[in-house]
Structure 1
Amino acid sequence: MPIDAATALAAEPRSGEISWTPKDVLLYHLGIGAGLPATDPDELRYTLESRLHVLPSFATVAGSGAPGVISGLSMPGVEVDLARVLHGGQSLTVHRAIPAEGRATATSRVAAVYDKGKAAVLVLRTEVADTDGPLWTNDAQIYVRGEGGWGGDRGPATRLDPPAGPPDRTLERTVREDQALLYRLCGDWNPLHADPDFAKTAGFDRPILHGLCTYGMTLKAAVDTLLGGEVSRVRAYATRFAGVVYPGETLRIRLWKEAGGVVRAEVSAVERGDAPVLADTVVRHS
């Protein structure tokens, strides 16, 4: 079996130094669609270095591009075909505000391996800290088709009940035709998002948008509309990737503000009959 759960879980964590600059933050914000309209003061906080605020989802690409995802697939005990890999979900815990420029240590490991029968799910955890202490923790849930069935732990149930009542806000965001090509410059070079031939090998008609791009677009929508544009209020953010997005499509983002510092979100693709894209999506905030 290409995935040896015992070996993967017992492997020593990998640590390395990462760094980022305001240029990296600006590129990430542009990659998730910030800057429209270009002179809007609310957008300039994402696109102008003199007033730069860092959206917390930048943590998914800071320093090494999609930390814990592509690199995690080369951990001991893990040997998989990239064409069988899908990003199943992502969770982020922010321990304090992310600076616009920084240097830190990122430590990655396989935190869990689950047997879903027809697939395996790897939980790849990356913990990042600088000299002042912890900055953030990323958990990437990686779905590997055809690698389950060894009788292992199926893992916890993660599905949530639907939000109650009508959404507080419903927004539509257009995904540019070139958005995946721009977003991949943040460091996720998986050819699934750029190479038509590779996308067909993986079972898709054409290249798909990075799930983490949709993830960032959705957090930005929640921060801008329900959190007063204050990125520092975000404490945690989690989602399940329920379907693909193709460049050129329109995202419909529904947001619910709940008690206890919670925003719920559901995201769908308008042109495909509101096909689900993100589900079980929760932003926890102060």
Structure 2
Amino acid sequence: MPVDAALALAAAPRSAGISWTPRDVQLYHLGIGAGAHPDRDDPAIDPAELRYTLESRLHVLPSFATVAGAGSPGVIRALSMPGVDVDLARVLHGGQDLTLHRPVPASGTATATSRIAAVYDKGEAAVLVMRTEVTDAEGPLWTDDARVFVRGEGGWGGDRGPASRPDPPAGAPDRTVERPVRPDQALLYRLSGDLNPLHADPEFAGRAGFDRPVLHGLCSYGITLKAVVDTLLGGDVTEVRGYDARFTGVVYPGETLRVRMWRGEDRVRVTVDAAERNTTVLTGTVVQHL
């Protein structure tokens, strides 16, 4: 089969140098919608947004780690690993788990080491876990796991892995906010390194089973984390210690994300819907914080 679990798991890790600058951080922040008043129809720039867009006071949203170095995202890197030979049109990003060992600096040079950490047999699909560990001269910076869903590659009798549908949060959310997605959001976000044609090319999107290009899952991921940080963490990006989300539905550029948050002692549980279609797009979402 095109996914050879044993070969993929046995492959040696791959390391590469990465670097980024404040300009890369600013571009990423703009790609997830920073810079505007999120809660009202106001053409002016919200002064609070300058922490994401102005180099003299730049704070780095931790989800920037998923694009730092402007290299291929974990989904694309996984497809180049030994034991993995699949058509990109059959691949979806199933989820992302990010652990922060230290706050992400506004500029840096580091080493990223990636490997296939797990391969699960979901019956109708295979799920690859692409783990990337990033270190700089001072030690570990972050670890991220990209869960890569490959349609049509399951059924070989392998480990099914952990349950993928956690129970939803109980009770009414503590906060609910809505975040509009610009019609050109995917075209702007892809400039941070994810050039998968699924998010820009209508013909490729059709071959993948969609009637038009869809938003990057990691763009929705970043928009959601920013909403939590701005709403419940006082805008303090250094409060975030971990962030895990499952992508359970697609978002189309031009839609509105409805972000519902349940705050706990050291974590915020989140669900996200595409408001116009009342369709859940992120579940099992947890932001761990100080």
TM range (shorter): over 0.9
**What's 1:202 paired with?**
208
Deviation readout 1:25-83 (Å, 9 max, x if unpaired): 00000000000035322100000000000000000000033542212211000001000
- Residues 185, 253 of structure 2: 8 Å contact kept: yes
Does 2:277 match 1:278?
no
* Cα distance in 1 between the residues matched to 2:155 and 2:271: 31
Deviation readout 1:72-124 (Å, 9 max, x if unpaired): 21100000100000000100000001100000000000000000111000000
**What's 1:262 paired with?**
267
Q: Name the TM-score, length of structure 2 as normaliser.
A: 0.96
- Residues 110, 122 of structure 1: 8 Å contact kept: yes
**What's 2:198 paired with?**
192
Does 2:36 match 1:36?
yes
Identity across the alignment (%): 75
**What's 1:13 paired with?**
13
* Structural mapping, 1:164-203, within 5 Å: 164-203=170-209
* Cα distance in 2 between the residues matched to 1:84 and 1:162: 28
- Residues 67, 126 of structure 1: 8 Å contact kept: no
Does 2:124 match 1:126?
no
* Cα distance in 2 between the residues matched to 1:185 and 1:169: 31
Does 2:63 match 1:57?
yes
Note the residue ranges of structure 2 that are not aligned, 5 or more in a row.
Answer: 38-43
Letter in 1 for 2:230: D
* Cα distance in 1 between the residues matched to 2:49 and 2:76: 31
* Cα distance in 1 between the residues matched to 2:165 and 2:276: 25
**What's 2:3 paired with?**
3
- Residues 35, 52 of structure 2: 8 Å contact kept: yes
User: How large is the RMSD of aligned CA atoms in angstroms?
Assistant: 0.9
- Residues 60, 66 of structure 1: 8 Å contact kept: no
Following TM superposition, by how much is the alpha carbon of 1:163 offset from its aligned partner in structure 2, in angstroms?
A: 1.1
State which of 103, 109, 113 in structure 2 corresponds to 1:97.
Answer: 103
* Cα distance in 1 between the residues matched to 2:239 and 2:8: 35
Letter in 1 for 2:156: W
Note the residue ranges of structure 1 that are not aligned, 5 or more in a row.
Answer: none
* Cα distance in 2 between the residues matched to 1:131 and 1:159: 38
* Cα distance in 2 between the residues matched to 1:67 and 1:13: 16
- Residues 66, 73 of structure 2: 8 Å contact kept: yes
**What's 1:113 paired with?**
119
- Residues 111, 124 of structure 1: 8 Å contact kept: yes
**What's 1:76 paired with?**
82
SS at match of 2:249: coil
Following TM superposition, by how much is the alpha carbon of 1:271 offset from its aligned partner in structure 2, in angstroms?
A: 1.1
Deviation readout 1:2-31 (Å, 9 max, x if unpaired): 010000000000000000000000000000
SS at match of 2:203: helix
